[in-house]
């Protein structure tokens, strides 16, 4: 496994019972013990299985089977047209179906960004499939009793203003037409992070050189560009499910608390504008066994900016649960 070469990872595809075709990485260690729980990693926006490239190897070398799907709408995975297909209920059903396909009864689920939100919801929709949970950058937020529109959410948390743009239909074509500046602006260091409140104006501004402070090198950036050649409708659809999410969770009467016996690790960068301290504190109200690790001077892309630290903290967490024989790489 060479993090600079996507082809050195073990690629698979599966037609799962929900009818979706999923592409995923299935990295099985040479010394694999089938009694050791697999790690299932869920990426966010605008990412790919490739976002976990620096952690797959270290975890695999410690004896863990690592499974990393391209999420629905991304890469080589199916891209439904209807935005409701991207609701957490449907995504969690897909992940459960992928575990069924692989004959895995339970796993440790690890998520970043939208993947973190999906991981938290997986603990509500399919609690019997989880051994432990790891959430990165986006803290747990419980199902709401009353519907809160995206516009209302942004008034409460102005740093989420970009979500209104992503939820708009116009963002699809504008981002597709400006894919390189968009991706380069998304993967920026926190010191050079741009205000996304007027993202549409930024990415169409030909005078700005976005690649100067990008966390991706040219080869990595071009790989990401290739992953989005099918279009942005699928990835952006996650932001267009606010009402659907609320209605599905209310109908199912999902609990607001995660299962009391579920161990949870939350990792975040202290310079991540999308992770306000108040939201981190609030998560403790709903998670009995929550461990929180703040990574200083790191922004949203913790898997890139703190590659080894993320891998190590997860291994330490698993070791504390008796799931790993070693806590250091």
Q: Please state, in angstroms and rounded to a whole number, the distance separating the CA atoms of residues 284 and 312.
A: 23
Predicted confidence pLDDT, tens digits, the chain (329 residues): 899 999 999 999 999 999 999 999 999 999 888 888 999 999 999 999 999 999 999 999 999 999 999 999 999 999 999 999 999 999 999 999 999 999 999 999 999 999 999 999 999 999 999 999 999 999 999 999 999 999 898 888 777 778 888 999 989 999 999 899 899 888 987 655 545 555 666 666 655 555 667 899 999 999 999 999 999 999 999 999 999 999 999 999 999 999 999 999 999 999 998 898 889 999 999 999 999 999 999 999 999 999 999 999 999 999 999 987 543 33
Q: What's the pLDDT score for residue 68? A: 98
Q: Please state, in angstroms and rounded to a whole number, the distance separating the CA atoms of residues 272 and 299.
A: 4
DSSP lists the bridge partners of residue 246 as none
Global confidence as pTM? 0.94
- Count CB-CB contacts under 10 A for residue 271: 17
Nearest to 142, CA basis, from 15, 7, 286, 272: 286
* Beta strand segments in 95-162, E: 107-112, 130-136
Burial (Cβ within 10 Å: 0-12, 13-18, ≥19) of residue 325: exposed
- Count CB-CB contacts under 10 A for residue 95: 28
- Count CB-CB contacts under 10 A for residue 109: 29
The upper half-sphere exposure of residue 305, i.e. CA atoms within 13 Å in the direction of its Cβ, equals 24
């Amino acid at each position: 496994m060479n993090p600079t070469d996507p082809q050195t990872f073990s690629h698979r595809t599966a037609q799962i019972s929900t009818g979706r075709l999923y592409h995923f990485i299935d990295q099985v260690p040479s010394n694999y013990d089938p009694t050791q729980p697999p790690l299932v990693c869920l990426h966010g926006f605008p990412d790919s299985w490739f976002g976990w490239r620096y952690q797959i190897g270290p975890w695999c070398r410690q004896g863990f089977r690592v499974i990393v799907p391209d999420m629905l709408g991304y890469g080589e995975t199916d891209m439904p047209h209807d935005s409701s297909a991207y609701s957490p209920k449907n995504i969690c059903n897909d992940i459960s179906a992928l575990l069924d396909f692989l004959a895995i009864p339970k796993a440790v689920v690890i998520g970043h960004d939208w993947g973190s939100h999906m991981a938290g919801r997986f603990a509500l929709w399919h609690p019997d499939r989880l051994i432990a949970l790891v959430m990165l950058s986006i803290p747990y937020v419980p199902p709401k009793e009353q519907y809160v529109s995206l516009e209302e959410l942004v008034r409460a948390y102005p740093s989420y203003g970009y979500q209104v743009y992503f939820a708009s239909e116009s963002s699809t074509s504008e981002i597709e037409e400006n894919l390189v500046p968009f991706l380069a602006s998304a993967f920026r260091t926190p010191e050079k992070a741009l205000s996304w409140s007027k993202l549409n104006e930024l990415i169409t501004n030909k005078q700005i050189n976005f690649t100067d402070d990008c966390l991706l090198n040219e080869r990595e950036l071009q790989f990401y560009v290739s992953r989005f050649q099918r279009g942005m409708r699928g990835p952006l659809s996650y932001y267009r499910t606010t009402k659907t999410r609320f209605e599905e969770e209310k109908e199912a009467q999902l609990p607001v608390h995660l299962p009391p016996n579920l161990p949870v690790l939350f990792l975040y960068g202290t310079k991540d504008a999308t992770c306000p301290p108040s939201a981190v504190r609030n998560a403790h109200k709903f998670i009995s066994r929550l461990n929180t690790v703040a990574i200083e001077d790191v922004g949203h892309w913790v898997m890139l900016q703190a590659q080894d630290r993320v891998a190590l903290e997860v291994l330490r967490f698993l070791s504390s649960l008796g799931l790993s024989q070693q806590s250091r790489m």
